[in-house]
Structure 1
Amino acid sequence: MNKEAFDALFEERVARRLARVGFVSKGKSLAFCDESIVLSLFRLGGRMINPGSISYILCFRHSILRDRSEKVPTRFPDEVFDYPYKFRPLEDGREQPIYRPQNLNYQYELLHWENVKEDTVSAKLDRITEHVEVHFLPWARTISLAQAKSEIERHGENAWCERMWIEDYSEHLAMNGD
């Protein structure tokens, strides 16, 4: 399989299917945004890419949170580090999502497509789409502000961004409840 064939397969098996549930393309990444949540499937580049493969990560944030510039974004944040929750869609899709600190480095998935049969690549892309549709998006829609705050407090490492997110959750909960 070559790069063009892979990109077409990704468009068919992931981007179009996720578009039906509200995801939009942002370059080679996909994002779901509503008034309360943002869920992004980032296609990574740079040092995280190997020839004949793509690297990707699924990220989640509540829309009330500030980003690294200490402002609440008015559009979808396009930097992985602006999201508290980071997941590998195939590996982490088997368990209940929970906050794990990944503030300086993060784990991502590598999907090889070069010299791999199309049906094998299609099956992996279908699994990614299924995990996002069936597992991650429903979870993201139901995780409360209080639960996210509690998870960051309990599992965090007291990083600057975690303290900022906890403060954002606390202020919003004090003003509005959950």
Structure 2
Amino acid sequence: MNKEAFDALFEERVAQRLARVGFVSKGKSLAFCDESLVLSLFRLGGRMSSPGSIAHVLCFRHSILRDRSETVPIGFPDEVFDYPYKFKPLEDGRERPIYRPQNLNYQYERLHWDNADDESVIEKLNRISEHVEVHFLPWAKAIPLAQAKSEIERHGENAWCERMWIEDYSEHLARNGG
């Protein structure tokens, strides 16, 4: 499979399917934004890129959280480190996602399309879009602010961004009851 064929399959199997549930393309990445959350499927470049494959990570944040510049961004933050929750897109979606600190480095997933048969690439792309649509998006829409705050408190490593996010959650919950 060549790059053009892979990109066409990604567009058909992932981007178009997720567009039906509200995702928009941001370069080679995809993002879902509403008044309360942002869910982003980042396609990584730079040192994470490799010929014949893509590297990607699925990220989640509540819209009330500040980013690394300590401001609340409008819309889609385009940096992985501005998201508390980071997942590999093909991780098994049957278990409930939970916060794991990945503040200095994060795990990502590589999908090799070079020297792969079309069927196996299509199967992986279908699994990505299914996991995002069926598991991750409903989870992101349903996770209460108080639960996200609690998970960062319990599982975090006391990083400055975690302290900032906990403060954001605390202030929002105090103002809005909860």
TM range (shorter): over 0.9
Q: Is the alpha carbon distance of 1:92 and 1:158 closer, same or farther for their aligned partners in structure 2, counting shifts above 3 Å?
A: farther
C-alpha displacement of 1:91: 1.9
Q: Distance in 2 between matches of 1:38 and 1:124?
A: 23
Moved more, 90-99 or 134-143: 90-99
Q: Is the alpha carbon distance of 1:144 and 1:160 closer, same or farther for their aligned partners in structure 2, counting shifts above 3 Å?
A: same
SS in 2 for 1:171: helix
Please give the per-residue CA displacement for 1:117-173, whole angstroms capped at 9, x wherever unaligned.
Answer: 011000000000000000000000000000000000000000000000000000000
C-alpha displacement of 1:177: 2.1
SS in 1 for 2:116: coil
Tell me which amino acid in the other structure corresponds to 1:97: P
Give the equivalent residue in structure 1 for 2:20: 20
RMSD value, Cα:
0.7
Q: Distance in 2 between matches of 1:92 and 1:98?
A: 13
Give the equivalent residue in structure 2 for 1:175: 175
Q: Distance in 1 between matches of 2:74 and 2:91?
A: 31
Residue 137 (1) aligns with residue 137 (2): yes
Give the equivalent residue in structure 1 for 2:156: 156
Tell me which amino acid in the other structure corresponds to 2:61: R
C-alpha displacement of 1:94: 3.8
* Identical columns (%): 84
Unaligned runs of 5+ in 1: none
Q: Distance in 2 between matches of 1:32 and 1:91?
A: 19
SS in 2 for 1:21: coil
Aligned runs of 1:77-156 on 2, under 5 Å?
A: 77-156=77-156
Between the two proteins, the alignment pairs up a number of residues equal to 178
Tell me which amino acid in the other structure corresponds to 2:158: N
Q: Is the alpha carbon distance of 1:78 and 1:92 closer, same or farther for their aligned partners in structure 2, counting shifts above 3 Å?
A: farther
Tell me which amino acid in the other structure corresponds to 1:14: V
